[in-house]
Structure 1
């Protein structure tokens, strides 16, 4: 009995005849040409503007194209039928989305608010399965320095973020967008700690800015009821306390 493990011929060439490579080439050319022709007939969209549904359709198309290209027992006709059906479904869903807001919401979803009035919208973040650092990363990429600069921010259905900053005259104090590893531990306080200095502190979890008096106990955040406080707060003048 031959050893089947680490058979280099099986690994690189397979158990099919070498001539089958030319069949793969033919299958690939035919399917690629058909898919290219089909999608030339469909409306064009920027790849960065694809919705989650469209991403799912692209994944389905990848499987429909890939299998008939190199599986000898999958005929080309089956792949062509699947590709065509997926394209038709995409067009039907796009047509329904244009018919009204309700269909558009069902098919493409709604933007999710993740920042409101310089504070994190925890409910919106939870519905979009986003963490604090996910939102902060997007805001940093847009060259913002702290939450107080932002009036509202939304995660769009295609995964991008839309940011509505405050006017310069209305920027408020906010939790800085510095990544957690760069924040020194001396800036953090818990609910049972005493306030070392009378000033504003920020809730680490939701970004609420709250005034605390010296020698008082920090307690829980009045907004999200968490108990981690940050003394490093950015102000409109960009000076840090």
Structure 2
């Protein structure tokens, strides 16, 4: 094959990879918007709008399937190796993480429906701050992926501690409300599940950051990161501090 033929193949692969990256970034933006829409219906206590948010998750699922097909086609037609292969597999893994982010956003919207059927509780307003942190993490890591910016990805990876701290504080607040008045147990239980879904969105953003790091450097992100979600396995006395 002459030089121009090789250049054509390389350019064709680069074009396909750029298109794939663009699709993943659009998918991620849709997932972040879904989360914001879910929080909006929580605040408005709007059952119909919540059902629309849940239904919109199908669009994210469809995009993930299309991206998977594109990855298989790239593997079959281009037979990428080394760094090119990492690019393709990173796309597949990141798309899967975004699909899960969309699922968690839909779960928040689903929980808002029974929550809207009981008397409002004050802690419900605190959910928006968690969602704001999570959506920012998602958008930052998408920008890092689009630019292959490992330092920005690493910052997202480190910043997950802020969401963990906020989630743990919110968890404590909800427990206090439930202990003070049994009538708060049902709405606060819904809020606990919703908050956990949002915290998990942050975890998937860190997964994406790790994939970006491996995609660019060809090695795992092995740095130490503080993890401050103590709600699943609290240290003795931790929740009483």
With structure 2 as the length reference, what TM-score do the two structures score? Answer: 0.25
Would you tell me which structure has more strand in proportion to its own residues? 1
Structure with the largest fraction of helix:
2
| Greater relative contact order, per chain length (Cα 8 Å cut-off, separation 6+) | 2
